[in-house]
Structure 1
Amino acid sequence: MSDNTIIRFEQVTKQYDQDPAVLDNVSFEIERGKFYTLLGPSGCGKTTILRLIAGFTEPSAGDIYLNGNIVNHVPANKRQVNTVFQDYALFPHLNVFENVAFGLRIKKLKNAEIKTKVQEALRFVNLSGYEEREINEMSGGQRQRVAIARAIVNEPEVILLDEPLSALDLKLRTEMQYELRELQRRLGITFIFVTHDQEEALAMSDEIFVINKGRIQQSGTPTDIYDEPINRFVADFIGESNIVEGKMIEDFKVEFANKQFECVDKGLHSNEPVEIVIRPEDLEITRPENGKLQVRVDSQLFRGVHYEICCYDQSGNEWLVHSTKKAEVNSEIGLDFEPEAIHVMRFGETEEEFDKRLEAYNG
């Protein structure tokens, strides 16, 4: 564990009664001052991780470390961690000032100190002058900022955010993504953000943990996870993907759709069955004779910045293309792509094995 590690999970399992484990032998480290996102579908275990960090529940097995100390049985009010809930959990009978000041009053700080700290917290979230405003007079975005001010006023080392943007409309949600990210940078506090929205995770995070069925499937930067997914779940969950079955012929050569192509992958066995990922935006429409693949257009939708084109090759593989070029339904077109656009996934490969192989062909 590095000196910069603030939270560490060591083989943590959480199980209720005889039900299947909500978290299954999970290990990871969180560093200070970064924006982390726990990403996955509903019921995957991401909110359980948040509750374990906050101290709202205890692990069934394994250890949780905060600043190098095991905190399995340390109550929530004894941890330097604050949570912003999905519904914000604000007190409707208290104004903005008193909502933010609530935790400070529990600590029995002097009124002058409370006033200074509350005003500073509201300044950080751009709500100066809103001290006397009633909660029911605030917009959704403003309520979220009040909840964040209430969290940061206690000067926690970690802020946990449990899908706090999910109730906002699309425009406000996008604005709050920028605000949250900028706020985290200004504060320098570790943020751990829970969402099932992959675009949100990619836009906001320093690092992402992709979770499914109680296990971390892959962790890394947004670029790493998008460009180098470890398995079909990650590739399919993070953005849109074309995933087809193929065979690794040899280093830097792969076969799919009954053709062989140059790629940048190595370190797999000759003739090993693999899965191939090519992102829709990496496919370029050409004349049929100029394409590496020849496909027939099945449908086309205009998405504003690009056309979304669905087509099929002669082997029956479906291909999704994002292009500024328009295609005609039922026409034959070619698809061109660079070797770097092909990502080869090994069946059953662990994240540790994947990282070792990635290091081998990157350096």
Structure 2
Amino acid sequence: MNSSVIIQFENVTKQYDQDRPVLDNVSFEIERGKFYTLLGPSGCGKTTILRLIAGFTEASSGDIYFNGKRINTLPANKRQVNTVFQDYALFPHLSVYENVAFGLRIKKMKEADIKVKVKEALQFVNLVGYENREITEMSGGQRQRVAIARAIVNEPEVILLDEPLSALDLKLRTEMQYELRELQRRLGITFIFVTHDQEEALAMSDEIFVINEGKIQQSGSPTDIYDEPINRFVADFIGESNIVKGTMVRDYLVEFTGKQFECVDQGLNPNEPVEIVIRPEDLEITSLEKGKLQVQVDSQLFRGVHYELSCYDNAGNEWLVHSTKKAAVGDQIGLYFEPEAIHVMRLGETEEEFDRRLEAYKDGEGE
């Protein structure tokens, strides 16, 4: 195993009774010192992965390794991980200091050492001076930082975060995203963060695992996953997308909406059926004559930093457009896009096949 890998899943399945597996033959690696996000809809299996790492549940089959050692049956209290729960699981009858010190007292650490460690942990989360404050007197963001301090005071190698921002209002949630990311950088330890919020995942992560129905659909950096989604689920779940059916005529030429367009994709079969993704921000409003697509504006909303237009072409395809330009409902407009804005998705392609095709792009070779 690579020395930078701290957690490894090999063909892990989790199934309850005869129900469909919650996790289905999942394999992946987590490297130390990075911020990972498990992203997917409710019930996709992301929290189950967290529980398997923490030791709160056991795999039905497959192997889980921590620093190269198999930990399938290792008790939760023996693992070098700490969890920050969605509701923080703080003790309301204890002060901030006592909440953070709780785990150290369980370990029967000397009081002088506890005092030093609690102070260091509170410094990390900017809560020095709050030691004697009651938990019920803390704001949502402060409670979250107390929960993180309680997690890091035990000096774990991995911190697991189970949707810890979901109860916060939008402004505070955004602030805490920055704080969490900066905290992870300062600590230099591995964070594994669970969320169903795509924007949150894109903003915070070094690497994202997109999960659906117990399988990892795609993994990679936020930029890779946003720019190169592997299938319709990922394209639709990560941000907003325009997805239409098309045909890969040949390398660098694709057909959709009855027209042929230059693109940057290669390595597919001639005349292979494909799906086309174009992000709303990559569509530029222009005149009918200059547009590569001609559409009619069906609705328009002002989103603060841009207008969001819903348009339809003559074939009935809906096109979502994000633009600083406005248009009136009923207008006939043109939409222009660069070849780089077209992303071609092969039907039924696995992540391994997709990765090989991307490597072929970089090497200047087709398959």
TM-score normalised according to structure 2 size: 0.99
Deviation of 1:3 (Å): 0.7
Output aligned runs, 1:9-20, within 5 Å: 9-20=9-20
Query: 2:206 is matched with which residue?
Result: 206
Taking the aligned partners of 2:211 and 2:320, their CA distance within structure 1 comes to 25
Point out where structure 1 has 5 or more consecutive residues left out of the alignment: none
SS for the counterpart of 1:229 is: coil
Deviation of 1:316 (Å): 1.1
SS for the counterpart of 1:128 is: coil
Query: 1:355 is matched with which residue?
Result: 355
Deviation of 1:315 (Å): 1.2
SS for the counterpart of 2:89 is: coil
Taking the aligned partners of 2:76 and 2:134, their CA distance within structure 1 comes to 28
Query: 2:290 is matched with which residue?
Result: 290
Taking the aligned partners of 2:256 and 2:316, their CA distance within structure 1 comes to 11
SS for the counterpart of 1:11 is: strand
**What RMSD over aligned residues (CA atoms) do the two structures have, in Å?**
0.4
SS for the counterpart of 1:173 is: helix
Output aligned runs, 1:271-286, within 5 Å: 271-286=271-286
Deviation of 1:359 (Å): 1.0
SS for the counterpart of 1:290 is: coil
Aligned AA (1:189): I
Query: 1:190 is matched with which residue?
Result: 190
Query: 2:93 is matched with which residue?
Result: 93
Give percent identity, aligned residues only.
Answer: 84
Deviation of 1:45 (Å): 0.2
Query: 1:51 is matched with which residue?
Result: 51
Taking the aligned partners of 2:258 and 2:139, their CA distance within structure 1 comes to 56
Query: 2:102 is matched with which residue?
Result: 102
SS for the counterpart of 1:147 is: helix
Query: 1:176 is matched with which residue?
Result: 176
Aligned AA (1:238): I
Deviation of 1:314 (Å): 1.1
Query: 1:159 is matched with which residue?
Result: 159
Query: 2:29 is matched with which residue?
Result: 29
Query: 1:141 is matched with which residue?
Result: 141
1:137-191, CA deviations, whole angstroms, 9 ceiling, x for partnerless residues? Answer: 0000000000000000000000000000000000000000000000000000100
1:51-70, CA deviations, whole angstroms, 9 ceiling, x for partnerless residues? Answer: 00000000000000000000
The answer to whether residue 117 in structure 2 is matched with residue 117 in structure 1 is yes
Taking the aligned partners of 1:325 and 1:109, their CA distance within structure 2 comes to 63
Output aligned runs, 1:229-244, within 5 Å: 229-244=229-244
Taking the aligned partners of 1:269 and 1:312, their CA distance within structure 2 comes to 30
Taking the aligned partners of 2:160 and 2:234, their CA distance within structure 1 comes to 23
Deviation of 1:362 (Å): 2.1
Taking the aligned partners of 1:186 and 1:324, their CA distance within structure 2 comes to 38
Taking the aligned partners of 1:361 and 1:79, their CA distance within structure 2 comes to 42
Aligned AA (1:176): M
Aligned AA (2:199): E
SS for the counterpart of 2:289 is: helix
Output aligned runs, 1:191-270, within 5 Å: 191-270=191-270
**Runs (4+) off by over 2 Å:** none
SS for the counterpart of 2:48 is: helix
Aligned AA (1:23): L
The answer to whether residue 71 in structure 2 is matched with residue 71 in structure 1 is yes
Aligned AA (1:13): T
1:80-114, CA deviations, whole angstroms, 9 ceiling, x for partnerless residues? Answer: 00000000000011100000000000000100000
1:108-147, CA deviations, whole angstroms, 9 ceiling, x for partnerless residues? Answer: 0100000000000000000001100000000000000000
Deviation of 1:2 (Å): 1.1
Taking the aligned partners of 1:78 and 1:2, their CA distance within structure 2 comes to 23
SS for the counterpart of 1:288 is: coil
Query: 2:326 is matched with which residue?
Result: 326
Point out where structure 2 has 5 or more consecutive residues left out of the alignment: none
TM-score normalised according to structure 1 size: 1.00
Taking the aligned partners of 2:5 and 2:30, their CA distance within structure 1 comes to 6
1:214-249, CA deviations, whole angstroms, 9 ceiling, x for partnerless residues? Answer: 000000000000000000000000000000000000
